[in-house]
Amino acid sequence: MKYITKKSILLTVASIFVLLQLVRPQMNNGEIKSSLHISNIVYVSDTIESVLQKSCYDCHSNQTNYPWYTQVQPIGFWLNHHVDEGKSELNFSMFGAYKKKKQLHKLDECIEMIEEDEMPLESYTFIHQKAKLTAAEKLLLVRWAKESKNHLIGLKTE
């Protein structure tokens, strides 16, 4: 009977880690502003755009600014999954592809998530300190989302 040694376990784990580095997830590096971007549906001021860029777009658009450690697996897989999950909930780059009812619902969710301090996620702002929303930015985003909702409600349905 062959005994498993600490050295063989360590060698196996190290080999798996090295082999894992050869597998890369697909990066989220498309265009932020396509014809379907939210700014083509509702007014997005430069100030709002700046706040969305610093606090939202990495997970909620078609382009993510990846930190260096994304190149280390399994961290890269985890971050990529996190971005995919964020985009599936709300993608500002594809907002125009949503039906009007879904657009209104997503704006409601934005308001709720910001007011309840659920977005941006603490796990994101822990590493990206500049992404934390100030009280003024929260008020600004909530006001913008409410105004955007009112604008959409005023639009004629197709």
58-110 per-position pLDDT tens digit: 999 999 988 888 888 888 888 888 899 999 999 999 999 999 999 999 999 99
* Upper half-sphere CA count for residue 78 (Cβ side, 13 Å): 9
pLDDT of residue 2: 67
Query: How deeply is 4 buried, as exposed, middle or buried, from its count of CB atoms within 10 A (0-12, 13-18, 19+)?
Result: exposed
**Of 3-12, 63-72, 76-85, 115-124, which has the strongest mean pLDDT?**
115-124
Return the domain boundaries, the chain: 26-154
Q: What are the angstrom distances between the C-alpha of 114 and each of 64, 102, 109? A: 21, 18, 8
- What is the Cα–Cα distance from 115 to 96, expressed in whole angstroms? 24
Chain Cα centroid distance, residue 44: 18
